[in-house]
Structure 1
Amino acid sequence: MKYIITILTMLGFAAVMAIIFLYAQIRFDADKIIDYNPKLTTQIYDRNGDLVANLFDDENRLYVAYHDIPARVIEALVATEDTSFFEHNGINIEAIFRALIKDIHAMKLVEGASTITQQLIKNTVLTRQKTLTRKINEAILAYTVEAALTKEQILERYFNHVYFGHGYYGIKTAAHGYFNKNLDALSIKEIAILVGLPKAPSSYDPTKHMDLSLSRANQVVNRLYSLGWISEAEYTKATLEHPMVYDETLTRNRAPYVVDEVIKSLASEYDDIKKGGYKIYLTIDLKMQQLAHESLNVGYKGMVSRLGKDANATELNGAMVVMENNTGNVLALVGGIDYSKSSFNRATQSKRQPGSSFKPFLYQKALDWGYSPLSEIPDISRTYVNSETDEEWKPKNYENDFEGLITLKEALVHSRNLATINLLSLLGMDSVYKELKKDGFKNIAMDLTLALGSFGISPLEYSSFYSMFPNYGVKTEPLMVKKVINRQGVEKIYETKSQTITSPKQSYLMIDMMKEVVKRGTGRNAQVPGIEIAGKTGTTNSSVDVWFCGFSPDIEVLTWYGNDNNTPLKKGETGGRSAAPAFKHFMTKYVELHPETTREFKMPEGVNARKVDGTTEFFTDVSPFPKSSTKELKEEGGLMF
């Protein structure tokens, strides 16, 4: 008897130790469920709250709290998978015995008796293999989880973790993915489809096997009816319903160039950006984004048509940036003609020469240093010699002629290269270079080629500098991310930065000059009826790069085209011919969509006007009329306002 007691004690001790050892092995698995912290999809929205894209790492999961899960969804799951869920402690003993009898009869494991808790455990930390060891682990884990969590917490974890097929993790993700609906908008049949999916996600995927999916859903509906949880009318309606199912990409990326830039700009701040469940709100307007893409293609197709049928246009590409003048909010950013063919973002990654579109920055310096729009500068040819290499440089105008003396306004309107180079020489290369660096320009050359925009800059960065003109002297940095909210609901607001470059009155003189560029100069193709447009064309040597940088009182639109391999475009392609039509298309449609947009530039205080030869000319105390115009003014008898 003594020996029997000793043996039983030893066996009992061994059993206890085995359970303790087993529990120690699976405790970490229990913690994964109890302290649930899944990978969550980050969602990006435009300024109007429309979804731009989903970002995720392996698992596309939108989280839903228990209190946001409709009661009918919970009823459908419990009715189908575990009717006594709210009564048991993680293991349904009665169901186990029923399944055991069937297994013995079949001489193999043919039926399980898993509760919702056990299913959560299988999906979260264990395999689906039907082995005795796994079953024991599962049972211990089920009791552990049930002891630590409420039934509601278990259901919340189940609905968020389980795979629903088609790349959708969690029922909220599946509802949005399959039906484009929130959970509270689902019909009984749609709920039944979702609840039936976890049993065999691939087999019951409604985008691939609709017949099997509907059959499985009808089983769920029938179970709800047999339990008396839905009425006969609801049962009949649900059985006959054939829901609309969508088959969309998981990312739903509607603006890939924008999304790439957002990830790049936020990656250093949020290292879990693709799995942290952030809500990112952009300044981008998806309607404007689509319009910008459409407009960029207008210019592109025009250039391709001029190439001829036998020409190769594979290297030809473009970019467009649309920005609000006073806020810096980027409304649209398109980095190429076709993202599927090239994800290289030419709006942010390429550094292209701005050419003549850079001239307004030099002319603004001249105005700020006392020149008037009517001040005359020499438009004559000169030969420059590099003192170090003895290499000669003999620039010329696009038209291969020269005017002699020409006013600043006329030189800009007709984009006269020689006049601009001579202006830079008159202003002083050192002084201009120093001021441009102070304004934020980088990588600019300290030689006279600067007058022709002989440095590289991306369209997005360039849009910041160009904002100083329509923004009355204030340069505004582009802003694309407005707000980021983390999974705890804590939000971070982003603000733009600005820098005052010149005064409003001096800036207005440049606005007027750039309006003339569009009215009667190189930018005539950018005219839009019913609204004042100002801007400047840009064409580099051999037409390697062509630009049109234009703006209305409210927004600016920068457009660039060129070959990716930096080879020349077809002869005759210029900023006015190639890029301005894209701008015109965008602004024309923009005005239609936003009839409330400001139509005229406001003249700030400190700007005066006189009639000269029948034309209204503007001046300020910093930029007075040149003395040579005094007689003309007296003869005209001008009007000050």
Structure 2
Amino acid sequence: MFNGKKTKQKKKKLDYSITDIGSIFLRTIKLLVDFGYVIVLLFVMLGAGMAFGYLASQVDSVKVPDKESLVSQVSSLTRISELTYADGSTIASIDSDLLRTPVGYDAISDNVKHAIIATEDENFEAHNGVVPKAVFRATLASVLGFGESSGGSTLTQQLLKQQVLGDDPTFKRKSKEIIYALALERYMGKEEILTDYLNVSPFGRNNKGQNIAGIEEAARGIFGVSAKDLTVPQAAFLAGLPQSPIVYSPYMSDGQLKSEEDMSYGLARQQDVLYNMHRSGYLTADEYQEYKSYNIAADFIPTQSASTVNHDFLYYTVLSAAQEVMFDYLVELDQVSAQDLKNDATKEAYEARALQELQQGGYKIKSTINKTIYDAMQMAAAQYGGLLDDGTGTVQMGNVLTDNATGAVIGFIGGRDYSINQNNHAFDTKRSPGSSIKPILPYGIAIDQGLMGSASVLSNYPTTFSSGEKIMHASDVGTTMIDLKEALNVSWNIPAFWTYQMLLNQGVDVKDYMTKMNYDIDSYHIESLPLGGGIDVSVATQTNAYQMLANNGEFEEQYMIETITASDGTVIYQHESNPVRIFSKATATIMQDLLRGPISSGKTTTFKSRLVALNPTLANADWIGKTGTTNSTSDVWLMVATPKVTLGAWAGHDDNRSMQALTGYNNNANYVAHLVNAINQADGNLFGVGERFSLDSSVIQSTVLKSTGLRAGVVTVNGRSITVGGATTTSNWALNGPGTMTYRFAIGGTDSDYVKAWAALTKK
């Protein structure tokens, strides 16, 4: 009995222990989970605290704007901006694609005022520009990653966003918004603020598909009435638009009414506004019921056609360049950090703001484009573009003319006919430069590094890439040893290949050279890089590189905007020269001397002979340059320069299909000859016919053997010493100078190549 009871008691104690352990375990888990929530909450609160602390520090650093300046910015409306040529004559006014007709406070229906306040800022009459709890809510949402809530902004703040500050999502901008809003409420009355808001806010599209801003254009363009005559349902519909104008607008970009499904978003938004008006006391219960059942779609006016303005390559290219300048100006003005710009939303906001500023700010944008020359270039494209056609279809062209000393774009040709093909082949189309890259990469870099002279000898014996593919020059597999002059004149590929291999083996920082000239190259280990493989470049960028060569090694970044002047006469942007030395003067002038050959020899282009036939005097200018042709003749290039200007020329098809084999040699040469002649007729001084390139005094000139590119000397060949001599020439070096005689005297080549080379040399 006793033993039985004891066993039962032990079992009962054991059962209690298991139950207690389970209970303790569950309580522990619950405690840890609760503790985890607390930890997360603490981190959130810490993050929020840090965010508010940062916001507070930003607010503290904001300077309160003066009354005249702030009121002027807030109240200013759209002004027409103008693009001009270099001489100040007009290219075109910038399309704002925005209709706005400002009206006074009394010309706006109270229905609209009530609808806007009830929907966008129910505390408008009471606050001083900022609602603290709304700022807290918006900032907390930003900290938690939900973005900025629209409820965080009063009408005053929204007005400042639209007119002064933009809407990038940085704390710096938000802090300015808070300070500016408090100041604006001191400077302006509520009626003035509300009127300005209604005059500047976007309202989507009208019945012609045009973008509209301001309540008057919205009333006329959607309902066909004045702002003062808007009914409650109409006012409620318009008041809902500023939150998302394009989505809620009843019209599409062509002015047609949207589908029933797409229309439903704006109609639902109107219902929300009516409810807000009722909730805020602007509508009685009966009025609300009456108006919510009203069919507002019946009031939308019918579609009409809008007149259109046609532009061309010049308008869009200059506008794009101006937008880049304005973007930089606004970023600097607002002291936006590089870190902030890594945020896509911030960058996009400033890009949009830059365009809007140009479209509506009343600026005068003076370009570098010479009107007379530009017009002559367009006429030449129309008259002589047909010379490019080779039976493979309409061949497109891209040309850029740049001032060597400044980098200014004097003129350009974007294509054959903008009305037919809008691709800008001068600035936007990127294609392989083919052999036109060789004077830059590899030869120019090799000379600059002191690894090559003008009379250096290179291997042109047949060879292959590491894949086993033969390196071809058209149908030719290679020849023998040749000098650098012939390598350039004929544009042989194998010597360029070997030269680039030498640069890689020597550890030369090729990327540093190329990125300074704005080349965007993914990999510098592509074996065909010095032949144009793995490089895609615009005519503008390639022309800029040749500008550097013609400018004695100084790279002046190409530009098209000279000044931007505000409506009050203030020059907000003035181009400033910032030359970057790429090649030494010695290197550049050595290459200038070498590049006379590809133009005058006629081995890769008939440009010079065709120019002689057109204008012998112009042909006597000191022309330098280089051609380029890609595989299957998909692209043909001709880069030419005089001491004053550089002209880049590309021709090809947009779909990369092949042209005839001699299209570059004949057709492009003929077209460019006619083009430069037309430019010369427009301005006989542009090419500087009487000016000449010359070697810099720093060039090292040495007498070398033509056969080896080295000084005469003794070398061991097949176990016996040979004194190597013969005809000599002058070799120009930027650094070091030629070495002494050696068995492997050339750049590149295999052991078997040197056996052949010495066999040929010792026979002489």
Is contact 2:396–2:653 with CA below 8 Å preserved after alignment? yes
Counterpart in the other structure of 2:314: 255
2:692 alignment partner in structure 1: 600
Does the CA contact (< 8 Å) of 2:398 and 2:426 recur in 1? yes
Structure 2 counterpart SS, 1:381: coil
Match of 1:400 in 2: 476
2:541 to 430, 455, 461: 461
* Residues 159-199 of structure 1: per-residue CA shift (max 9 Å, x gap): xxxxxxxxxxxxxxxxxxxxxxxxxxxxxxxxxxxxxxxxx
2:583 is matched with which residue?
502
Partners of 2:377 and 2:500 lie apart in 1 by 35
Q: In 2, are the aligned partners of 1:52 and 1:254 still within 8 Å (CA)?
A: no
Mapping of 1:300-379 within 5 angstroms? Answer: 300-304=385-389, 306-307=390-391, 312-313=393-394, 316-361=395-440, 362-370=442-450, 371-379=452-460
Cα distance in 2 for residues equivalent to 1:442 and 1:253: 28
Q: Is residue 80 of structure 2 the alignment partner of residue 41 of structure 1?
A: yes
Amino acid in structure 2 at the alignment position of 1:41: I
Q: Give the Cα–Cα distance (whole angstroms) in 2 for the partners of residues 255 and 366 of structure 1.
A: 38
SS of equivalent to 1:468: helix
The residue that corresponds to 1:633 in the other structure is none
CA deviation after TM superposition for structure 1 residue 51, in Å: 1.0
1:510-525 superposed matches below 5 A: 510-520=591-601, 521-525=603-607
Answer yes or no: is the 8 Å Cα contact 1:330–1:478 preserved in 2. Answer: yes
Q: 2 CA distance for matches of 1:130 and 1:372?
A: 77
Secondary structure, in 3 states, of the residue corresponding to 2:410? strand
Query: Which residue does the alignment assign to 1:479?
Result: 559
Mapping of 1:523-602 within 5 angstroms? 523-526=605-608, 528-574=618-664, 576-592=665-681, 593-595=683-685, 597=688, 599-602=691-694
| Counterpart-to-counterpart distance in 2, 1:560 and 1:578 | 11
Write out per-residue CA displacement over residues 93-145 of structure 1, whole angstroms, 9 at most, x where no aligned residue.
xxxxxxxxxxxxxxxxxxxxxxxxxxxxx99999899999979xxxxxxxxxx
Task: Provide the rounded CA distance (Å) in 2 between the counterparts of 1:130 and 1:263.
Answer: 37
Q: Which stretch of the first structure deviates more once superposed, 538-547 or 428-437?
A: 428-437
Distance 1:294 1:616 in 2: 46
Query: Which residue of structure 2 lines up, in the alignment, with residue 427 of structure 1?
Result: 503
Q: Deviations over 1:53-98 (max 9, x none)?
A: 111324799xxxxxxxxxxxxxxxxxxxxxxxxxxxxxxxxxxxxx
Change (3 A) 1:403 1:132: closer
- With over 3 angstroms needed to count, the CA separation of the structure-2 counterparts of 1:294 and 1:405, relative to structure 1, is farther
Change (3 A) 1:124 1:299: closer
Q: Structure 1: how far apart are the matches of 2:225 and 2:576?
A: 58
Paired residue for 2:464, among 355, 361, 383? 383
Distance, in Å, in 2 between the alignment partners of 1:517 and 1:329 is 26
- The 1:249/1:504 distance shift into structure 2, 3 A limit, reads farther
Question: Shift of residue 288 of structure 1?
Answer: 1.8
Using a 3 Å threshold, how does the CA distance of structure 1 residues 432 and 402 change in structure 2: closer, same or farther?
Answer: farther
Matched, 1:51 2:129: no
User: 1:627 & 1:295 partners in 2: Cα distance?
Assistant: 53
Q: Deviations over 1:272-326 (max 9, x none)?
A: 211211100001112222233344456631232x31xxx543xx31211110011
Q: Aligned pair 1:292/2:368, yes or no?
A: no
Aligned equivalents of 1:271, 1:47: Cα separation in 2: 24
Query: Could you tell me how far 1:377 is from its partner in structure 2?
Result: 0.5
> SS where residue 505 of structure 1 aligns?
helix
Deviates more, 1:318-327 or 1:263-272: 263-272
Aligned with 1:441 (options 491, 496, 519): 519
Note the C-alpha offset of 1:461.
Answer: 2.0
Contact between 2:219 and 2:225, CA under 8 Å: does it hold in 1?
A: no
The 8 Å contact of residues 60 and 250 in structure 1, kept in 2 or not, is answered as no
CA distance change for structure 1 residues 604 and 59 in 2, over 3 Å: closer, same or farther? same
Higher helix share: 2
Letter in 1 for 2:399: M
Q: Equivalents in 1 of 2:433, 2:225: separation in Å? A: 69
Residue 415 in structure 1 maps to residue 484 in structure 2: no
Q: 1:428 and 1:55, CA in 2 relative to 1: closer, same or farther beyond 3 A?
A: same
User: Normalising to structure 2: TM-score of the pair?
Assistant: 0.49
Alignment partners' CA distance in 1, 2:446 and 2:228:
82
CA deviation vs aligned residue, 1:390-411 (integer Å, no higher than 9, x gap): xx32111125152311111110
Q: CA RMSD in A?
A: 3.9
The corresponding residue for 2:288 is none
Structure 1 residues 57, 618: closer, same or farther in 2, change over 3 A?
same
CA distance in 2, matches of 1:394, 1:132: 76
Q: Give TM-score scaled by structure 1 length.
A: 0.58
Local SS of the residue matching 1:258: helix
Q: Which structure 2 residue ranges, 5 or more long, are not aligned?
A: 1-70, 101-214, 230-306, 328-350, 612-617, 707-726, 743-764
Question: Helix, strand or coil for the counterpart of 1:558?
Answer: strand
Q: How many residues align?
A: 417
Cα distance in structure 1, aligned partners of 2:585 and 2:660? 40
C-alpha distance in structure 2 between counterparts of 1:571 and 1:550, whole Å? 21
Structure 1: tracts of 5 or more residues without a match: 1-31, 62-121, 136-247, 387-391, 630-641
Q: What is the deviation of 1:483?
A: 0.3
Secondary structure of residue in 1 paired with 2:423: coil
**Matched-pair contact (CA < 8 Å) for 2:587–2:734:** no
Separation in 2, partners of 1:130, 1:501: 63
Matches within 5 A, 1:58-457: 58=97, 255-262=314-321, 264-265=323-324, 266=326, 268=351, 269-297=354-382, 300-304=385-389, 306-307=390-391, 312-313=393-394, 316-361=395-440, 362-370=442-450, 371-386=452-467, 392-398=468-474, 400-428=476-504, 431=508, 433-437=510-514, 439=516, 440-445=518-523, 446-454=525-533, 455-457=535-537
CA–CA separation in structure 1 for the residues paired with 2:732 and 2:647: 27
